[in-house]
Amino acid sequence: MRAKALLLCVVLISGAAAKAHGEHGPGALFQRRCRVCHTYGSGDLIGPDLKGVTDRHTREWLTKWITSSQSLIRSGDPAANALFRKYKQFPMPDQSFAAGELDALINYFAAGGPVAEATRNRRAATATSAEIDLGRALFVGQRGLASGGAPCVSCHSIGDIGIGGSLGPDLTRAFSRYQDRRLALLISRGCFPRLPDISARTPPNDDEVFALKAFLRQADPGQHLHESAPSQARH
């Protein structure tokens, strides 16, 4: 009876979390399937903290453990048995996923999980002056991208700096056109995947994407007009 009550609680909490975070994608999977027993970066709960889990275990091991932890324990796997003992022999329920979902979830953990997702979804309006300055430095090449890729100014111009390449479009009003999430997605994809000599294959990291997005917002005259409109109306 107690087990049935616990299961009902898990189902109800998971369903509410899924609605709050959208029904699809690895972030929703984490909220729906993992969050009741695990945190990401906030310490152990019923099970271990999942931050860094892809550094502690291989993808193959994680796939087996998540699919059927008890099967892995019965096989004599030392890591599985150590976890089982550490967490008071509380069995992790077997999990089933639609095609591609488990791989997407493991990729999500490897990419920083909900911590990185929060950074990616952060609004450019919350950027500090230091983050905007970093974005400018990355754009003009005063500071190199972690990936080693070419700076944005190699191909793009922007009114704020008055210089830039012409191979790509002018980005002066990029923020007004795309706004937060779409612009972050475009930046995160990196440039010129077919020309590795111009830009590295690895795209900017999350902090760089945010800084570039924040700089583009600050440099966009359309944003300043929009922000000054309410104060002008009061006069």
Read off the pLDDT of residues 146-164 as tens digits, 9 standing for 90 and up.
Answer: 888 888 998 899 886 767 7
Look at residue 191 in the predicted model and tell me its pLDDT.
Answer: 67
CA-CA distance, 18 to 171, in Å (whole number)?
36
CA-CA distance, 227 to 162, in Å (whole number)?
23
Amino acid identity for residue 141 in this structure? G
Q: Is 150 helix (H, G, I), strand (E, B) or coil?
A: coil
Q: DSSP for 207-232?
A: HHHHHHHHHHHHH-HHHHHHHHHHHH
Per mean pLDDT, which range of 3-12, 75-84, 124-133, 187-196 is the poorest? 3-12
Instruction: Check whether 10 has a pLDDT greater than 70.
Output: no
Look at residue 139 in the predicted model and tell me its pLDDT.
Answer: 94
Q: How confident is the model at residue 224 (pLDDT cuts 50, 70, 90)?
A: low
Cα–Cα nearest to 40, from 57, 52, 28: 52
The third-level CATH classification (topology) of the domain covering 2-119 is: Cytochrome Bc1 Complex; Chain D, domain 2 (1.10.760)
> Is the separation of the CB atoms in 156 and 165 below 8 Å?
yes
Residue whose pair of structure tokens reads 């002066």 in the numeric block: 172
Q: How confident is the model at residue 117 (pLDDT cuts 50, 70, 90)?
A: confident
User: Rg of the Cα trace of the chain?
Assistant: 23
The third-level CATH classification (topology) of the domain covering 125-225 is: Cytochrome Bc1 Complex; Chain D, domain 2 (1.10.760)
Give span(s): CATH 1.10.760.10, the chain. Answer: 2-119, 125-225
